[in-house]
Structure 1
Amino acid sequence: AFALGSGIGFGLALVIMASIREKLEVADVPAPFRGLPISFIIAGLISLAFTGFSGLITL
């Protein structure tokens, strides 16, 4: 059960990150934040969102 949930969560995170990066290519992002810096910020925000799901389902 843990392996299945981890795989699904990882796949979901990859799809979310890929879709956000697609939108960031056409967005007006300030020059110092273009590329890797904005990706790190987005990854941090996604990790905070996924942290909210911890403990939601107890087996």
Structure 2
Amino acid sequence: MQMVGGDAVVISTAGEPVARALPSRPKVRRLGRGSLRGRIRIPANFDDAPASMAEALGMR
């Protein structure tokens, strides 16, 4: 019942932990190629390092 509620469960024998069971993740349904089209935005300056970082690394 704890796993159904989303909690991790530790299985133990005589007080010693034997196994740790984690709740399964819900499956994501993507119906095919392009299913995320229009939902992800990448800015035009994605590959540009911030000025302070570029200067610290000698890129400018």
Q: Which has the larger radius of gyration?
A: 2
TM over 0.5, shorter chain: no
Higher relative contact order, chain-length normalized (CA < 8 Å, sep 6+) = 1
TM-score (ref. length: structure 2) = 0.22
Structure with a larger share of its residues in strand: 2
Structure with a larger share of its residues in helix: 1
